[in-house]
Structure 1
Amino acid sequence: MRNAPAARVAVGDTEFIVRHNSYRAEAVRTSAAAHPTVAAMLLRARAAMETASGCTVRPGTLYGDAVLSEAFLDCPGQQPARLQPRWIYSPPG
């Protein structure tokens, strides 16, 4: 996302810088917030990503914390990114 153009987006009283391409978006909260919950910030970040990109966030792909969030996008007229599950083995013990 380093070379993607940045857009400033406000969702309520929360401000974000959003960078995106045709299949992925990243939102960074730039405003102060007193004890924000991750769930509330992810909902606002999703709205910021959709506003900046004109695309919808693909269900099940939004993740992050109270400051930084990322998601895959479903943009009209674009082939969506192919998502493959990743299997991770954790040995017992």
Structure 2
Amino acid sequence: MLRYTLMRLGIFVGCLVVVWGLVYSGVAPRGLGASNGIWVVLLSLVISAPISFVVLRKERDRASAQIVRKVDSVKANLEANRSQEDVADDAARAQGQAS
């Protein structure tokens, strides 16, 4: 998961550098007034999102599979704990009825 995040961040930073260069060289339009920094960041986000979606498809699938395994493991642990509590509760009720 960390690898995917770092790769995604790298693509964003690359786009940020390219967009910043294009804006300050006059190829891309500048933002209005003091909004130039926000304009560069937003434009970089818009450009990097589809690039990340296409380029990082395999890495995203690996990260997703890793998350699914972790969630399944947590669910199994919770179910095991729940069944232990049910057994303990049943044993306590049986002792209470026997008394």
TM-score by length of 1: 0.32
Structure of greater Rg: 2
Higher strand share: 1
Which has the bigger relative contact order, CA under 8 A and spacing at least 6? 2
